[in-house]
Chain A
Amino acid sequence: MSQFAINLLFVGASFALYIGIAIWARAGSTKEFYVAGGGVHPITNGMATAADWMSAASFISMAGLIAAGGYSASTFLMGWTGGYVILAMLLAPYLRKFGKFTVPDFIGDRFYSRTARVIAVVCLIVASVTYVIGQMTGAGVAFSRFLEVPSNVGIWIAAAIVFLYAVFGGMKGITYTQVAQYVVLIIAYTIPAVFIALQLTGNPIPMFGMFSTHTESGIPLLQKLDEVVRALGFQDYTGDASSKLNMLLLTLSLMIGTAGLPHVIIRFFTVPKVADARWSAGWALVFIALLYLTAPAVASMARLNLMTTIYPEMSGQVQDYEAAANNPIRYEDRPEWIRSWEETGLITFTDHNNDGRIQFYNDANPDFAETEATRGWAGNELVVNNDIMVLANPEIANLPPWVIGLIAAGGIAAALSTAAGLLLAISSAISHDLIKKTINPAITEKGEMRAARISMGGAILLATYLGLNPPGFAAQTVALAFGIAAATLFPVLMMGIFSTRMNSAGAVSGMLAGLVTTLLYLFTYLGWFFIPGTNMLANTPENWLFGISPLGFGPVGALANFVVAFVVSRATAPPPIEIQQLVESVRYPKGAGLAVDH
């Protein structure tokens, strides 16, 4: 059977499973559509949250970014897990006690204001659509590879499938489907990692393997990797970060963004009790950590395998890296996986010095220019898109075809599950918070469902269009979405819970301050509405305000949000007494009913 047929079989079988579950658990009423009847066990909920959470960014893109960035890309690992600590302690239990369906619902009621609700909807939509752009990029890579089409075509196919999939069921369908998706994606991520860890280190557990001895060279794997990349002018894999400030800010942005993202928070409305909301966050992180502890191993091993594929003489005990560096493989002898990724346009080769060999190195390093000249190299010849690393990893390591089919199914599961959860959050914000609660309270249940589906379609079209020329690799685009959530929704949720004094004027001006400063900063460097070519300044460190990268701007926006909200609230009247009592009551678990529609 050809690789194409095997891929199709694995992806097809996993789809049949999800669709089967979606039909079996089909949502009947609007309530089930949003929160699955409020009765999901913490472990089940944790697993579904993990699937919801781990998107194309985590599965497809993150390890590739770590492979390229080494130590400084650890921000993604810490940022996307550390947010759960904030969720478990500062948000989930209280929001569960409050007992509302959606984030704008909470903000609208807590700040007794229609304006606050509408602005929360706007913030939610901006963050979620940005997030979906990242999913489309990642899903596009997966579809283009396994259907063997160019990456643009892959994105449109992904869009069609996500749309069909997301309108099919509501939350309940999604909760149980997502449990299945979690199982598929974790198996798909782990199996190739185990094989590769065994090949390289003899240790079957990837998270330990990355700190063990590299069998072929007899030295620790990470030390070997440092030596190899150093010989090619790259920064040491384990070397320290060039900007600790950006590392801190990006980590913080991802952490507080996690706690402000509506599709994750909505998960904690679906557990039966307040105590379960705390346990749920813990279980979610356990299931997430299974992938996140493997990801750094995948990253380091994929990088080493990629380098030694191009420079075979670097793989064993190397006395002379100079000689090994001068003997990369010939382009005509390149392995099959390079050929197939070339067809998607995600790997490109240009023979700058016309020697028929692949020189793959860091040509942007000024300290390496001399070595470059001595070796007769005329520029880096192989451009490898970071987003392909995880999917290409089994092929690079020569694993059997079924493993490659499995990883295609896993990557698509990751992208689909998150895109569906986000689209649900977007559609419920529009149909429930905007239309039913603000514009047309008399709308029928049927009309509300129809509005939900139309807004899903609109969001997918917009995200797909922007996903064709994304503002970054999948994980970077998703990091921008986190920055937006961190700067807008997180501060008002926190103040809504912890400050009885915070009033509607403060919340409204805070959200606006966070949203406007963050978007202005992002659009200045990445283009208006992320449309390429419309940026006012080049996105380079010299142009950044105080050297802060757009990826790490979230906490600055959050600070603006907090300060403005504080000042405005002190200058205006305190909230009504019943709101202050409401904030008090949210602090105590006693008396939490089911999530109610009111």
Chain B
Amino acid sequence: MADDHTNAATNAAAYWRANLRLIIGCMIVWAFVSYGCAILFRPLLSGIPIGGTDLGFWFAQQGSILTFIGLIFFYAWRMNRIDRKFGLGE
């Protein structure tokens, strides 16, 4: 019984760590496209022309939004797999 309990606790802790790892990875991309490409690094991207302006402008007005959508669906898909792997889904 005590063993089962410990196993369940270890399993839960591993699940939470996997979740946090995934979140941190996604948040890095999230910050990189919006605060990075669209704002801070825009001068660095000014050499890449796109339709009358530069890549940084595109990231600010469209690129980051498209990335955000991709990120959320990626997270939902991966999390559902993690839920199942650890047997903690509904």
Q: B-contacting residues of A (Cβ < 8 Å)?
A: 66, 71, 74, 77-78, 81-82, 84-85, 88-90, 93, 207, 210-212, 219-224, 226, 238, 240-241, 244, 247-248, 251-252, 255, 273-275, 278-279, 281-282, 285-286, 289, 292-293, 296, 584, 587-592
Tally A-B pairs: CB < 8 A: 135
A85 touches B72 (CB 8 A): yes
Q: A244-B40, A251-B39 are in contact. Are A89 and B75 (CB under 8 A)?
A: yes
Distance A66 CA – B79 CA, assembled complex (angstroms)? 36
CB neighbours (8 Å) of B72 from chain A are 84-85, 88-89, 278, 281-282, 285
Nearest to A274 among chain B residues (CB) is: B90
Contact B90 A78 (CB under 8 A): no
B26, A89: Cβ atoms under 8 Å? yes
What residues on A are CB-neighbors of B89 within 8 Å? 275, 589-590
Question: A88: nearest residue on chain B (CB-CB)?
Answer: B72
Please determine whether A251 and B90 come into contact, CB atoms closer than 8 angstroms: no
The dominant DSSP class at the B interface is: helix
Hey, which chain B residues are within 8 Å of A226, CB to CB?
Answer: 52
9 sampled A-B residue pairs with Cβ under 8 A: A77-B61, A77-B64, A78-B38, A85-B30, A211-B51, A251-B39, A252-B35, A255-B34, A296-B61
Asked if residues B61 and A74 are in contact (CB atoms below 8 Å), the reply is yes
Known: A275-B83, A278-B75. A589 touches B38 (CB 8 A): no
- Whether B76 lies near A82 (C-beta < 8 A) is no
User: A207-B62, A275-B90 are contacts. A588–B68 as well, Cβ < 8 Å?
Assistant: no
B1 on the A face (CB < 8 A): no
A275 to B79, CA, bound (A): 8
B66 sits at the interface (CB 8 A): yes
**Interface pair A293/B76, CB less than 8 Å apart:** no
Flag if B68 contacts A82 (CB, 8 Å): yes
Residues of B within 8 A of A212 (CB): 51
How far, in Å, is B9 (CB) from chain A's closest CB? 10
* B residues 48-69 in Cβ contact with A at 8 Å: 50-54, 57-58, 60-62, 64-66, 68-69
CA distance A241 to B19 in the complex (A): 36
CA distance A207 to B62 in the complex (A): 8
Please name all residues of chain A whose beta carbon is closer than 8 Å to the beta carbon of B30 when the two chains form the complex: 82, 85
